[in-house]
Structure 1
Amino acid sequence: MINFNYETDFLLQNEDDISSWISEAINAEGFKEDEINYVFCDDKYLHKLNVEFLKHDTLTDIISFDYSVGKIIQGDIFISIERVEDNAKDFQTSFIEELHRVIIHGILHYCGYKDKIDEDAKVMRNKENYYLEQLG
C-alpha cells in the first residue's frame, strides 16, 4: 500500500495514477509492495531529519528509510518540495518531472540500486528515465 502524507501546503495531483505507476515499477523490478509512506515536506522539516538521523547538516531533496525485508518493499520516503523546485530550475526541467524522478528514485534505492559512484549513478539515472517514460 502506498500512502501520501503532507507536512507542507503541497498536494500531489492524481495520487491514484502515481500510486499505480510506483506499484508497477516495484513489480517490474521483481519485488513485492508492502507499506510505503511518502511524506512531502519543506527544507526545514527534511533538514531536521537529515541532522537527527543521518548526522548530515545539509539540505537534500529526499531521505528514505528502508524497512524492506528480502523482496518485500516497505519504508518511509521524505521529499522536500522546496529542493525539488530548486533542482528543477537547476536541471532546467519541469517541477512535475523532477518530482516524479525523485519519487521513483526512492523506490529504486529500495530495489537495490545505488548512486554513490558514477557508474552506479548512471544505471540509476537510466532506470529513472525508463520509469518516467512509462508514466508518460
Structure 2
Amino acid sequence: MREVLFFKEGVEYPVFFSEALINKWLDSIAVYYSKKIGALSFIFCSDDYILDVNRNYLSHDYYTDVITFDYCEGDFLSGDVFISLDTVYSNSLQFQSGFENEFHRVICHSVLHLIGYKDKTDADSKIMRLNENICLELLKTL
C-alpha cells in the first residue's frame, strides 16, 4: 500500500518544497530500481530534534543530516526518514551545492539506503554518490 507522509518538527518546509514533485520523484526512483513505494514518512526537523532521535534510538551522540529507519518488506520501500534541515543547509554551504540540491540529495540518499545501498566504506560511498546523481538526474526529468 503506497502512503507517503510529510511532517515538520520545529521547522518550516523550504520554499521550494513540493509534496507533489517529491511523490512523482519517489515513484520514478522506485521504478528505476525495480521497487515499489510502500509506507514512507519524511520528518523534517532541527538539529536538536535529530540529535535526540540519534541519542534515543541509535545511542549516537552527534548531529547528522539524515536518519533512516528501514521497514521495507519485499520490493516495497517503507521507513521513517528524519532530515535535519539545519544540517542540510550547513552542508550545502560547506559543499557549495545549494540548499535545494542538498535537500534533494538527502532525500534520495535515504531512499537508496532503503533500496540496500550502504555508505560506510569509501567504495560504498562512491557507489552511493553515483546512485544519488542518477536519482537527481531523474528529478530533472519531472
Q: Same fold (TM over 0.5)?
A: yes
Decide whether the 8 Å contact of 1:46 with 1:80 is kept in 2.
yes
User: Do residues 52 (structure 1) and 56 (structure 2) align?
Assistant: yes
Aligned counterpart in structure 1 of residue 12 of structure 2, from 10, 13, 18: 10
Alignment partner for residue 133 of structure 2, among 102, 123, 129?
129
The one-letter code sitting in structure 2 at the alignment partner of 1:9 is V
Aligned to 1:34: 38
Following TM superposition, the consecutive aligned residue runs of length 4 or more in structure 1 with deviations greater than 6 angstroms are none
Alpha-carbon offset, residue 9 of structure 1: 2.9
Identity of aligned residues (%): 40
- State TM-score, norm by structure 2: 0.92
Please report the RMSD computed on the Cα atoms of aligned residues, expressed in angstroms.
Answer: 0.9
Any stretches of 5+ residues in structure 2 without a counterpart?
A: none
TM-score (norm 1): 0.96
Do 1:10 and 1:81's aligned partners in 2 also have CA atoms closer than 8 Å? no
Letter in 1 for 2:94: D
Which sections of structure 1, spanning at least 5 residues, go unmatched? Answer: none
* Alignment partners' CA distance in 2, 1:31 and 1:14: 22
Contact 1:88–1:94 (8 Å) recurs in 2: yes
Aligned residues: 136
